[in-house]
């Protein structure tokens, strides 16, 4: 079944797209303020991103009930192919029409080192599973009853080297059926341009929508913590120095918004780029603040 979400419609057009991120916490209740996400087409709901939290499926339903189109995130770290397909069927029943397929951070990076991982399939195989489900059948060929139609997303890290293998892996995700790609946080636009040009040269940007990740940093300490903990984050020293020079905590937070807005300004108009994905890092209130800074 062909996906018909708002995000799918935007991808089918020419308008510059904004998506954002919502990271649930360890809570059994959730209140979502739609004003936090005004101006974005869809909002990703993290799947136990930094440790045990409300499930992405429940969070996606909460966003949907608040009038926000969700992107259901699903990781392969914690589920085998049975559970993955079961959750996807449940999401379709709840009216969720977008899914982001991820492997997920290793459990030792999220404070759950005692947990056993699963990794029955990887993110590329999961994309292919969703593609088959969009065609009306489960992985074993069982026919799906009712309508199933998901816009399929995946992630990419432009910082990974060598570039040739980076693009090869991206190509596998696109060939498996990824309709859109959200990247890890971009802090060096010149380096990102090299990656994006390689994506364009392989004509991958013609087959999927590339959305560049942008993260508003809260402080120099926040930047250091990210680079020390996760290899996904490469933050130039000049940005960290700029945050430090801004002054106290409040001033550094404002400078982080300013830096992110400047990055978005540089990204807009790049050939092959369809939009920006704002990574909240758990500070969802910064999404509207950043969009306001971009519009000035």
Give the span between the Cα atoms of 18 and 276, in whole angstroms.
Answer: 5
Backbone dihedral angles phi then psi of residue 99, each to the nearest 5 degrees? -140, 140
Q: What pLDDT does residue 31 have?
A: 83
Q: Where are the domains of the chain?
A: 6-295
- Please give the CATH number for the structural domain made up of 6-295: 3.20.20.220
Tens digits of per-residue pLDDT, 162-194?
Answer: 999 999 999 999 999 999 999 999 999 999 999
Give the span between the Cα atoms of 245 and 232, in whole angstroms.
Answer: 25
Q: Other C-beta atoms within 10 Å of 111: how many? A: 11
Tens digits of per-residue pLDDT, 207-230?
Answer: 999 999 999 999 999 999 988 887
User: Mean pLDDT over residues 243-268, rounded?
Assistant: 96
Determine what percent of the chain is predicted with pLDDT higher than 70: 99
* pTM recorded for the entire structure: 0.95
pLDDT band at 288 (very low <50, low <70, confident <90, very high): very high
Q: Give the H or E element holding residue 210.
A: strand 209-214
Least confident of 81-85, 105-109, 256-260: 105-109
């Amino acid at each position: 079944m062909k996906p018909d979400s708002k995000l799918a419609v935007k991808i089918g057009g020419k308008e510059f797209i904004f998506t954002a991120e919502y990271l649930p916490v360890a809570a059994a209740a959730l209140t979502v303020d739609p004003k936090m996400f005004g101006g974005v087409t869809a909002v990703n709901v993290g799947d136990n991103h930094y440790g045990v939290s409300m499930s992405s499926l429940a969070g996606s339903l909460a966003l949907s009930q608040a009038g926000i189109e969700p992107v259901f995130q699903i990781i392969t770290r914690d589920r085998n192919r049975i559970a993955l397909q079961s959750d996807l069927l449940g999401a379709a029943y709840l009216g969720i029409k977008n899914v982001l397929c991820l492997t997920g951070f290793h459990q030792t990076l999220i404070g759950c080192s005692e947990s056993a991982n699963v990794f029955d399939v990887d993110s590329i195989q999961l994309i292919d599973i969703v593609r088959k489900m969009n065609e009306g059948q489960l992985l074993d060929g069982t026919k799906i009853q009712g309508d199933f139609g998901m816009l399929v997303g995946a992630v990419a890290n432009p910082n990974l080297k060598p570039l040739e293998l980076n693009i090869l892996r991206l190509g596998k995700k696109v060939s498996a059926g990824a309709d859109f790609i959200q990247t890890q946080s971009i802090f060096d636009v010149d380096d990102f341009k090299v990656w994006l040009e390689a994506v364009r040269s392989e004509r991958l940007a013609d087959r999927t929508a590339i959305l560049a990740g942008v993260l508003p940093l809260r402080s120099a300490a926040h930047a250091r913590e990210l680079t020390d903990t996760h290899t996904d984050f490469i933050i130039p020293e000049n940005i960290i120095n700029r945050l430090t020079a801004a002054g106290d905590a409040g001033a550094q937070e404002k400078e982080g918004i300013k830096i992110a807005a400047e990055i978005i300004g540089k990204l807009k108009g790049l050939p092959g780029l369809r939009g920006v994905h704002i990574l909240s890092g758990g500070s969802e209130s910064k999404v509207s603040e950043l969009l306001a800074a971009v519009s000035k």
